[in-house]
Structure 1
């Protein structure tokens, strides 16, 4: 991640709070928060989230390369159901799922750069050589077509109901959605310093000052900052199986501190 770009010390961003299904965000200091879920059944969506794009259209999302994000984080357990993480994305699915205050946006193809934990029920990859779950440093890169441009492709989604056609669609999507990721194996229940750098032609991730992943597959367009913990899962397996839903979860939390982000 060496670069001559003169990143400054960064700023503490102004963040909006989203809470649903027993999720709660609690400030712990000027640059620290606890995002917590109460014990939740698989019948209700639970979310605790901080982001900087709540009411914004995607064209006004703030971040574009070069960007550096730094924070320290820990979670209550390494094997939590659902997902949690922190980084930048374009909120591609635009599904508020019962959380009030979300801007309404058309679904689009995903662009993201983040540290992302996905429980074993998740399989969030189109490539067979990329880890589908675990704690990942990951990127997604896709064309920034407007959501309306994807409407003609909606009938093709019926092919997801039949595994042979779903496998074909999965291969087809690889032509439009590129991704890269590596699974990380350190203890996420203790404090670690996480940093990512996003440039127009490359990206790098570090943990405690050590580079853990570098890639030339980088997101396109403008992205928003997101930090979250929830109880949902989604899978699109190499066998053509499509699954999504909610997981029962015990009380769980994600704590962050020292949040800083710098960019142009």
Structure 2
């Protein structure tokens, strides 16, 4: 399924000189303004119709403009659990869902994106989330109860409950992200294998399909700390930032080519 481009005002996604090469760039600006450049293949379909299930492979080369960019960036598969595509024209309205993902994910220090204290929640990660599909009635109740999450004692209870339902695994990746590196994800029913320049990180967790492919860079942060503190927002950029990718392989197992 081909990628679609989604950007906020001033951001840009440009194809490279050869097929499968892209440069995603967001402009400088103050906090309080969301800036995003994204490629995906799921924005206009219902979550149940997302295109991917195992076996699946994503293999690419990538680099970014600076090592400690404010916000997040990455590439992989997820179920868009918070319907972040609602800001784009033509996006499908969806209820929130529990997270399912397998991706290489960078999170600046303002983020804390883990329900467990024994797993890394910031910096550059190979990360997997595995959650069940919940009934619509429970998802609707969760959306209505979200304001209670701003009360730390309630948030701590909810965080503990989510830790029992949402399984996760992550590995800290120690590379110079401003240099070209080769990244590969192999998603199977029995788990996910991540590779960085041939170095292997494996988990037995396999996200619940279906998922969509996403490649993005933005200035957003979200944090759900063990203390129960919940915070989210957007961060300032003093200069433009970019993510460049060169697709090597994207398809079913080892059959299809990007």
TM-score normalised by structure 2 residue count: 0.93
Question: Structure 2 CA distance, aligned partners of 1:166 and 1:217?
Answer: 26
Q: Deviations over 1:177-204 (max 9, x none)?
A: 1111011111010101100111111111
The answer as to 2:234 corresponding to 1:258 is no
Give the counterpart of 2:35 among 30, 33, 46: 46
Mapped contact 1:106–1:148 kept (Cα < 8 A): no
Mapped contact 1:130–1:181 kept (Cα < 8 A): yes
Matching residue of 1:62: 51
Please, which runs of 5 or more residues in structure 2 have no aligned partner? 254-258
Residues 232-247 of structure 1: pairs in structure 2 closer than 5 A:
232-247=220-235
C-alpha displacement of 1:170: 0.6
Matching residue of 1:10: none
Matching residue of 1:145: 134
Question: Structure 2 CA distance, aligned partners of 1:202 and 1:127?
Answer: 19
Mapped contact 1:90–1:224 kept (Cα < 8 A): yes
Question: Structure 2 CA distance, aligned partners of 1:159 and 1:144?
Answer: 23
Question: Structure 1 CA distance, aligned partners of 2:42 and 2:198?
Answer: 29
Give the counterpart of 2:210 among 222, 238, 244: 222
Mapped contact 1:107–1:147 kept (Cα < 8 A): no
Question: Structure 1 CA distance, aligned partners of 2:54 and 2:95?
Answer: 24
Question: Structure 1 CA distance, aligned partners of 2:51 and 2:248?
Answer: 16
Give the counterpart of 2:81 among 89, 92, 102: 92
Question: Structure 2 CA distance, aligned partners of 1:198 and 1:36?
Answer: 28
TM-score normalised by structure 1 residue count: 0.91
Residues 144-223 of structure 1: pairs in structure 2 closer than 5 A:
144-211=133-200, 213-223=201-211
Question: Structure 2 CA distance, aligned partners of 1:159 and 1:53?
Answer: 30
1:229 aligns to what SS in structure 2?
Answer: strand
Aligned residues: 251
C-alpha displacement of 1:155: 4.8
Residues 93-112 of structure 1: pairs in structure 2 closer than 5 A:
93-96=82-85, 98-112=87-101
Question: Structure 2 CA distance, aligned partners of 1:101 and 1:17?
Answer: 12
Question: Structure 2 CA distance, aligned partners of 1:190 and 1:199?
Answer: 29
Question: Structure 1 CA distance, aligned partners of 2:74 and 2:13?
Answer: 14
1:117 aligns to what SS in structure 2?
Answer: strand
Matching residue of 1:3: none
Matching residue of 1:14: 2
